[in-house]
Structure 1
Amino acid sequence: MVGLGKFILTHYPSFSIKILITHPPYNAGSTGPYMNSVSATTSSITFHQLPQISSPLDISSPHHETLAFELLRLNNPNVLHAIESISNTCMVHALIMDLFCCPDLSVAMDLNISAYFFFPSGAACLASILYMPFLHRNTNKSFKDLKTILDIPGMPPIPSTDMPKPTLERNEEVYEDFLNASIQLPKSAGIIVNTFESLEPRANKAILEVEQLKEIAVGLERSGQRFLWVVRSPPSKDQTKQFLAPQSLICMIYSPKVFWTERKTGLVVKSWVLQVAVLNHGLVAGFVTHCGWNSALEAVCAGVPMVALPLYVEQRFNRVEEMNLALPMKESEDGFVRAKEVEKRVCELMNSEEGNLVRMQALKMKAAAEAAMSDGWSSRVALSKLVESWTRGRDKLHETVKL
């Protein structure tokens, strides 16, 4: 949201943006220093801290998405009070929220404020969520059990098991949360889709199990390529504890001497990196990625070819390999990508005709991204159209605005 706010202010500096913040009773890390730094450098962005909710949350759920939906649902009264308070001194043009804030749509309607959803994942994932009610009505099976190909308008056909992980089991509460969100989305004044913009430099925070980390480590070693790897600890086996504390960082789980002493081919980082800065470094020739949408966009904007290793959520929708922007890694029957496959794909990206074709396509898409974000082109025109609708009172039009 901070990134989107900065993006808007870059072109419309007369606006001010207030971001509502709530801290969950679990994993309540301090965001104070970050908020202070944002407000210090961008005075038009300020933060409004909501009161801590008093109702207990069921943290036994294996899905953090369920906790997010529940937390934000319980915050509705606080959101209502906050917007009323802000309205006493400012004209509120619009309320922008993400998918998990769909309960707040009723607050915006009660206050007669236009509400928009900001969807930071790709348009294909959005299409799948909007199509959920139709899929729900036409089958009584879970997506994980359908064993069929889904033909969803606006995206290539996908296996039913590639639907977002929280929606795979029909009888779980998190499925109902996403189904309800899919019904609420079209009721908003519009959906802001993140198509060609890197909104905020951040770290790649995908979490892998120990066994998969080992396979990647062996594959990287055997490839002989120099690399930078940010490694996080695997999630707790006790699902009730996954959201209670930040994941600790690990240095390396496979023969650090191989990487640091004997061959000096790799650097393992145990904290985090500015991924945008790394991808835009002239010596970076490839990116092994979990295919999160921000990571995919950052690679496209940097013109860096990818090796695709999608894990969960919407990552299997972001089929960069089908756009010839990445080489895919093939999973074995047990769901893991073996070291041999890692070695093979990394080497092919660096030293094969197929890898060269992907590299050339990445450079073409980089140019297309730069054009889309330049003045007078699609992203800038869409942003102007959106902001003008706020200032001229035409914000009741239902449309999808692509940024």
Structure 2
Amino acid sequence: MEMQNPTHLLLVSSPGLGHLIPVIELGKRFALHHNFKVTILAVTSQTSRVETQILNSVLTSSLCHIIDIPSPDLTALVAENDAVFTRLCVTMREAKPAIRSILSEITPRPSALIVDVFSTEAIQIARELKIMNYVFVASHAWMLALVLYSPVLDEVVEGQYVDQKEPLKIPGCNPVRPEDVFDPMLDRNDRQYKEYLAIANGILQSDGVLVNTWEELQRKDLEALNEGGLLSKELDMKIPVHGVGPIVRQPELDTSSLTHSLMTWLDKQSSESVVYVSFGSGGTLSFEQMRELAWGLELSEQRFIWVVRAPIEGITDAAFFTTGNSQFDEMVKYLPEGFVSRIHKVGLLVPDWAQQVTILGHRSIGGFLSHCGWGSTLESVTNGVPLLAWPLYAEQRMNATLVAEELGVAVRPRVLPTKKVVRREEIAEMVRRVITENGIRERVKEVQHGAMKSLCVGGSSYAALSGVAKAIECSCQNVKCNKN
């Protein structure tokens, strides 16, 4: 018999576009494909204009209901030099009373709670209320494996991870080079490392994990994480891991003058001839690196669109909480003298932020110079666009290794950009390669095809998400039966 009311799902997102966008898109998928009533609880930074725009765009649709919780005051709780990772963990811990209140009082009572990795402490609330709960990992399965195995590494590895001579071994998965570890693992004495280990343990308290990848892309890692897999056995995991990706933002109608002018310019370019350059919602370069990048783009003699942000020395994620507040005139003063006038026929400069998914979907885009945030990486490969991998922070070094060395859909600098300034000649060479090299273009088309296939009815990701939806519905029906 058909349920009188649709199943109600509550999702929780921490601040930042890289967290908010995939949570929203996951919610939309439950609403569209499974007729769930979806409420998204978004803890926002209150300083990002783009974050506000995205929330407003969801509010105008009928797919999801948004509850916006302003970020708690952290003045007395974090130090000025605390990392973004620490700030996010403390933010979501302080938001727990608001989450508890909403989860207890919202009607109809949610059938399940899905939290992002910074919100795992809310799992305890769901358990107290006897509500199913899942963790949504917006990154990939190899990164999830490292996170879950980190408490074991913490016991067996002596000294700093970055000082190890051999890669860190993860049962059933590829090893991780010391220089590629997740940001919180860079310094075991830093506060964010303790927060990170707590997240690893928190994930295992859930009823299951949804991860933003698909079986054909990371079969080995997903097998290692699930029942019978080497990592699952090592950790004595009792929860399933579901590959439900790629979950990426879908293009939306944008009538702004900026997007119109970008699309008009792209329409005039040859197919797959333009490199899109962006370091995500939070990435920043040093002044010297920004100038070398400008010279490299010019020397490459390729067309480009560059989302430009003011340089900040030594802090690669300095724009994380402040996206979308700069002006073009402010950007120009950091570029080489005469650069803007010299490139006016071949390049476009955009301050701070652009409609990335719309740009990447245009036929003229032939490459993406990216910080390799997993959301941006998926937006690129699902549009068949090869990458120039330029990792900055978080798990981006792992992502760059994955796309360049395992998947073969990216080129990358010889040395990590966070360790050494990448010079203009190397940049120019990489830009030309990503535009002209046929092998990398053919490989990214294969990955694109696999991604689309996984999302179709009968595909691995469609089946995985359907299985989660069915489990939630069954749990909801059992609760109703018990009440009756």
TM range (shorter): 0.7 to 0.9
1:348 is matched by which residue type in structure 2? R
4+ long deviations beyond 4 Å: 26-34, 50-55, 236-239, 241-248
Tell me by how many angstroms 1:77 deviates.
2.3
Q: Measure, in 2, the Cα distance between the counterparts of 1:97 and 1:231.
A: 32
Q: 2:305 aligns with which of 194, 206, 228?
A: 228
Q: 2:249 aligns with which of 200, 217, 222?
A: 200
Q: Measure, in 2, the Cα distance between the counterparts of 1:293 and 1:90.
A: 34
| 1:16 is the counterpart of 2:37 | yes
Deviations 1:275-332 (A, max 9, x none): 1111111111111112111111111111111221122211111221111111121127
| Structure 2 equivalent of residue 125 of structure 1 | 143
Distance 1:141 1:387, change over 3 A: same
Alignment of structure 1 residues 115-194 onto 2, 5 Å: 115-194=133-212
| Structure 2 equivalent of residue 378 of structure 1 | 460
Distance 1:387 1:328, change over 3 A: same
Tell me by how many angstroms 1:356 deviates.
1.1
- Report if the CA contact (8 A) 1:232-1:248 is conserved: no
| Structure 1 equivalent of residue 441 of structure 2 | 359
Q: Measure, in 1, the Cα distance between the counterparts of 2:320 and 2:380.
A: 29
Q: Measure, in 1, the Cα distance between the counterparts of 2:123 and 2:198.
A: 12
| Structure 2 equivalent of residue 399 of structure 1 | none
Tell me by how many angstroms 1:28 deviates.
7.3
- Report if the CA contact (8 A) 2:391-2:416 is conserved: no
Q: Measure, in 1, the Cα distance between the counterparts of 2:304 and 2:476.
A: 51
Q: Measure, in 2, the Cα distance between the counterparts of 1:281 and 1:105.
A: 41
Deviations 1:336-370 (A, max 9, x none): 2111111111122233xxx2110111111111111
SS of structure 1 residue aligned to 2:39: strand
Distance 1:245 1:381, change over 3 A: closer
Q: Measure, in 2, the Cα distance between the counterparts of 1:357 and 1:238.
A: 35
SS of structure 2 residue aligned to 1:269: strand
| Structure 2 equivalent of residue 317 of structure 1 | 398
Distance 1:321 1:117, change over 3 A: same
- Report if the CA contact (8 A) 1:389-1:395 is conserved: no
Aligned residues: 389
Q: Measure, in 2, the Cα distance between the counterparts of 1:221 and 1:360.
A: 26
- Report if the CA contact (8 A) 2:49-2:325 is conserved: no
Distance 1:154 1:269, change over 3 A: farther
- Report if the CA contact (8 A) 1:235-1:242 is conserved: no
- Report if the CA contact (8 A) 1:124-1:154 is conserved: no
| Structure 1 equivalent of residue 421 of structure 2 | 336
| 1:251 is the counterpart of 2:318 | no
- Report if the CA contact (8 A) 1:18-1:48 is conserved: no
- Report if the CA contact (8 A) 1:329-1:341 is conserved: yes
SS of structure 2 residue aligned to 1:382: helix
Tell me by how many angstroms 1:383 deviates.
1.0
TM-score by length of 2: 0.73
Q: Measure, in 2, the Cα distance between the counterparts of 1:72 and 1:379.
A: 29
Distance 1:236 1:357, change over 3 A: closer
- Report if the CA contact (8 A) 1:332-1:338 is conserved: no
Q: Measure, in 2, the Cα distance between the counterparts of 1:389 and 1:275.
A: 35
Tell me by how many angstroms 1:51 deviates.
9.0
Q: Measure, in 2, the Cα distance between the counterparts of 1:20 and 1:37.
A: 15
| Structure 2 equivalent of residue 327 of structure 1 | 411
Pairwise CA RMSD: 2.9
SS of structure 2 residue aligned to 1:45: strand
Could you list the runs of 5+ residues in structure 2 that have no partner in the other structure?
1-22, 214-244, 252-277, 479-484
| Structure 1 equivalent of residue 117 of structure 2 | 99
Between 326-335 and 294-303, report the one with greater CA deviation: 326-335
| Structure 2 equivalent of residue 64 of structure 1 | 84
Could you list the runs of 5+ residues in structure 1 that have no partner in the other structure?
397-403
Alignment of structure 1 residues 262-273 onto 2, 5 Å: 264-273=345-354
| Structure 2 equivalent of residue 4 of structure 1 | 26
Tell me by how many angstroms 1:187 deviates.
1.4
- Report if the CA contact (8 A) 2:31-2:63 is conserved: no
Q: Measure, in 2, the Cα distance between the counterparts of 1:308 and 1:28.
A: 25
Q: Measure, in 1, the Cα distance between the counterparts of 2:91 and 2:206.
A: 21
- Report if the CA contact (8 A) 2:324-2:353 is conserved: no
Distance 1:269 1:55, change over 3 A: closer
SS of structure 2 residue aligned to 1:321: helix
Tell me by how many angstroms 1:38 deviates.
1.5
Q: Measure, in 2, the Cα distance between the counterparts of 1:263 and 1:248.
A: 23
Q: Measure, in 2, the Cα distance between the counterparts of 1:338 and 1:80.
A: 51
- Report if the CA contact (8 A) 1:119-1:191 is conserved: yes
- Report if the CA contact (8 A) 1:251-1:268 is conserved: no
Identity %: 30
| 1:76 is the counterpart of 2:159 | no
- Report if the CA contact (8 A) 2:296-2:425 is conserved: yes
| Structure 2 equivalent of residue 45 of structure 1 | 65
| Structure 2 equivalent of residue 400 of structure 1 | none
Q: 2:296 aligns with which of 200, 219, 239?
A: 219
